[in-house]
């Protein structure tokens, strides 16, 4: 099956010349291609054809007046949850902090209760429209973490829900195990037993049943300590998992050193990262995933994106979509916040939500840029220039979402 995407005003390739990530200054180079069509064979990018050349294909997709970008990659979400925390939102508007609400028994634990009270089918029904919402934004890879079950049964239930969509969704769904999200109430005073549950039961079961390739942990004064995460990472690494870490959101307690020690895939958050750690992480091959939606939603400080990029870091962006700290299922708004608040340039932002997010997930050899041999997944914006993407706040410019060569979303009202 041959498909041609033709007449686009620009193809923003985000070419990496085979390197599969962009660091520092490289993030500005998007290598746009003009007057070309993309030839797709069986869901994979086969070639770039000059528009003047006529070829026979099975299907043509007309991208007139549009810009073609790689399918957007959402590398950090907690989309699989139940319940609402709008009451906590109101408490915060009245002055309570996110950490105070969590310490008083709200926060992650309140979502945990709602998830434990939900069946597999309930959770499927809740997650399905959220995935479709991301698809309508041009997202073709969506990472989803567990972390709201916090018992053997409920963490596996959540991972099974996410894996249902991994098998049945039209986009790439990437499950991540986040058992080390917070201590559930029954283990609040017995950390050792909860770590044992993760290490001795959950990790081996998840590996055996192929429920996730990556694990994540929350390293914070109010969550897991350096030594506790170190223990979990040691075992996870032996079992062959990719490692990721929520760190330096509220406290800087050694997360960057731990990440470098274990050569993990990504460090995520970094709102309070210090100068010394910026230097260290920028010299490593670890992706730094920035989540400006959290700062916006919590009215909190933003991560030092400019310093990270200027020091040569591999910066990615994501929504961190979750019910407590970033109830924002919208990658376009994150791109806009990155421009307005992180002072990132539009080219850097595009690299951050495509190839570098894909790199954070460990799949950038397959997706995240428009290079021959990669997955034919695209976000096609009805726009004359890439600046339109950050200028149109709250207006969806996606004309087509194409996943593995097939149109999975279209908006015929956009010209
Ligand atoms: O990435 N920080 C930990 N986890 C999420 C928040 C989860 C929640 O509040 O439900 C985050 O910000
Ligand atoms: Fe998160």
What residue spans define the domains of the chain? 2-71+368-410, 73-360
Mean pLDDT of 63-76: 98
Calculate how far, in angstroms, residue 328's C-alpha sits from the geometric centre of ligand 2.
Answer: 12
Would you say the CB of residue 322 lies under 6 angstroms from ligand 1? yes
Give the whole-angstrom CA distance, residue 217 versus residue 415.
Answer: 44
Nearest-CA residue for atom 1 of ligand 1: 320
Under a CB-based contact definition with an 8 Å cutoff, are residues 321 and 77 in contact?
Answer: yes
Helices (H), 200-301: 203-208, 226-239, 255-262, 275-283, 292-298
> In the predicted model, is pLDDT for residue 30 greater than 90?
yes
Give the whole-angstrom CA distance, residue 259 versus residue 245.
Answer: 7
Nearest-CA residue for atom 8 of ligand 1: 324
- Characterise 241 by phi-psi region: left (phi > 0), alpha (psi -120 to 50), beta (else): beta
DSSP string, 7-19: --SEEE----TT-
pLDDT band with cut points at 50, 70 and 90 for residue 253: very high
Q: Is 105 helix (H, G, I), strand (E, B) or coil?
A: coil
Give the whole-angstrom CA distance, residue 170 versus residue 71.
Answer: 12
Kindly provide the residue ranges of all beta strands, DSSP E only, lying in 146-294, ordered along the sequence: 172-180, 214-219, 242-247, 266-269, 287-290
**Nearest to 237, CA basis, from 259, 218, 262, 256:** 262
Q: For ligand 1, pick from 74, 76, 78 the residue to mutate: most ligand atoms within 8 Å of CB.
A: 78
> In the predicted model, is pLDDT for residue 187 greater than 90?
yes
Calculate how far, in angstroms, residue 169's C-alpha sits from the geometric centre of ligand 2.
Answer: 22
> In the predicted model, is pLDDT for residue 286 greater than 90?
yes
pLDDT of residue 415: 81
Q: For ligand 1, pick from 92, 158, 321, 322 the residue to mutate: most ligand atoms within 8 Å of CB.
A: 322
Under a CB-based contact definition with an 8 Å cutoff, are residues 361 and 265 in contact?
Answer: yes
Give the number of the atom of ligand 1 that is nearest the alpha carbon of residue 182.
Answer: 3
CATH of 73-360, one of 3.30.750.24, 3.20.20.140, 3.40.50.800, 3.40.1440.60: 3.20.20.140
Give the number of the atom of ligand 1 that is nearest the alpha carbon of residue 323.
Answer: 10
Calculate how far, in angstroms, residue 135's C-alpha sits from the geometric centre of ligand 2.
Answer: 20
Mean pLDDT of 24-30: 98
Six token digits for residue 403:
């996943």
Q: Taking the complete model, does pTM exceed 0.85, yes or no?
A: yes
The DSSP letter of residue 205 is H
Calculate how far, in angstroms, residue 37's C-alpha sits from the geometric centre of ligand 1.
Answer: 42
Give percent of the chain with pLDDT exceeding 90: 99
Q: What is the mean pLDDT of the chain?
A: 98
CA angle 65, 66, 70 (to 5 degrees): 165
Calculate how far, in angstroms, residue 333's C-alpha sits from the geometric centre of ligand 2.
Answer: 17
> In the predicted model, is pLDDT for residue 36 greater than 90?
yes
Would you say the CB of residue 217 lies under 6 angstroms from ligand 1? no
Mean pLDDT of 98-104: 91
Q: Which helix (H) or strand (E) holds 115?
A: helix 108-116
pLDDT band with cut points at 50, 70 and 90 for residue 105: confident
Q: Tens of pLDDT along 297-335?
A: 999 999 999 999 999 999 999 999 999 999 999 999 999
Would you say the CB of residue 323 lies under 6 angstroms from ligand 1? yes
Calculate how far, in angstroms, residue 122's C-alpha sits from the geometric centre of ligand 1.
Answer: 22
Burial class (CB in 10 A: 0-12, 13-18, 19+), 80: buried
Calculate how far, in angstroms, residue 330's C-alpha sits from the geometric centre of ligand 1.
Answer: 16
Give the whole-angstrom CA distance, residue 265 versus residue 359.
Answer: 8
What fold, for 2-71+368-410?
Urease, subunit C; domain 1 (2.30.40)
Q: For ligand 1, pick from 74, 99, 101, 108 the residue to mutate: most ligand atoms within 8 Å of CB.
A: 108
Q: Tens of pLDDT along 55-69?
A: 999 999 999 999 999
Give the whole-angstrom CA distance, residue 27 versus residue 30.
Answer: 7
Q: For ligand 1, pick from 181, 244, 253, 325 the residue to mutate: most ligand atoms within 8 Å of CB.
A: 325
Would you say the CB of residue 332 lies under 6 angstroms from ligand 1? no
Six token digits for residue 171:
């986009």
Q: Tens of pLDDT along 339-388?
A: 999 999 999 999 999 999 999 999 999 999 999 999 999 999 999 999 99
Contacts of residue 332, defined as CB under 8 A and 6 or more positions apart, other chains included, come to 137, 389, 396
Each residue of 245-269: b (16+ CB within 10 Å) or e?
A: bbbbbbebebbbebbbebebbbbbb
Residue 224: nearest ligand to its CA?
1
């Amino acid at each position: 099956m041959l498909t041609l995407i033709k007449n686009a005003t620009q193809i923003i390739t985000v070419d990496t010349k085979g390197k599969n990530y962009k660091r520092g200054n490289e993030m500005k180079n998007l290598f746009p291609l003009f007057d070309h069509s993309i030839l797709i064979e069986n869901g994979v990018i086969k070639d770039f054809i000059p528009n003047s050349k006529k070829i026979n294909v099975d299907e043509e997709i007309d991208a007139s007046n549009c810009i073609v970008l790689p399918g957007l990659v959402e590398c950090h979400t907690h989309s699989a949850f139940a319940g609402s925390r709008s009451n906590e939102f109101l408490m915060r508007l009245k002055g309570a902090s996110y950490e105070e609400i969590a310490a008083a028994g709200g926060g992650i634990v309140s979502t945990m209760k709602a998830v434990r009270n939900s069946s597999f089918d309930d959770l499927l029904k809740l997650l399905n429209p959220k995935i479709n919402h991301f698809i309508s934004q041009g997202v073709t890879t969506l990472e989803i973490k567990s972390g709201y079950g916090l018992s053997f049964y409920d963490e596996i239930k959540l991972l099974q829900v996410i894996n249902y969509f991994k098998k049945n969704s039209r986009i790439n769904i990437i499950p991540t195990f986040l058992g080390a999200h917070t201590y559930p109430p029954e283990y609040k005073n017995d950390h050792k037993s909860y770590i044992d549950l993760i290490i001795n039961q959950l990790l081996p079961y998840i590996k055996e049943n192929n429920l996730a390739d990556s694990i994540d942990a929350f390293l914070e004064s109010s969550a897991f300590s350096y030594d506790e995460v170190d223990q979990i990472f040691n075992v996870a690494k032996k079992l062959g998992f990719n490692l990721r870490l929520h760190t330096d959101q509220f406290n800087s307690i050694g997360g960057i050193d731990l990440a470098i020690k274990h050569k993990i895939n990504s460090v995520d958050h970094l709102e309070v990262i210090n100068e010394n750690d910026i230097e260290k992480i920028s010299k490593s091959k670890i992706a730094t995933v920035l989540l400006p939606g959290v700062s916006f939603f919590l009215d909190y400080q933003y991560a030092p994106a400019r310093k990270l990029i200027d020091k040569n870091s591999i910066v990615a962006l994501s929504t961190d979509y979750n019910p407590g700290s970033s109830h924002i299922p919208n990658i376009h708004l994150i791109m806009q916040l990155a421009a307005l608040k992180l002072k990132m340039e539009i080219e850097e932002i595009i690299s951050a939500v495509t190839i570098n997010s894909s790199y954070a997930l460990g799949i950038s050899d397959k997706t995240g840029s428009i290079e021959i041999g990669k997955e034919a997944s695209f976000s096609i914006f009805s726009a004359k220039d890439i600046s339109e993407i950050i200028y149109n706040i709250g207006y969806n410019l996606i004309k087509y979402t194409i996943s593995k060569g097939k149109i999975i979303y279209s908006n015929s009202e956009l010209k």
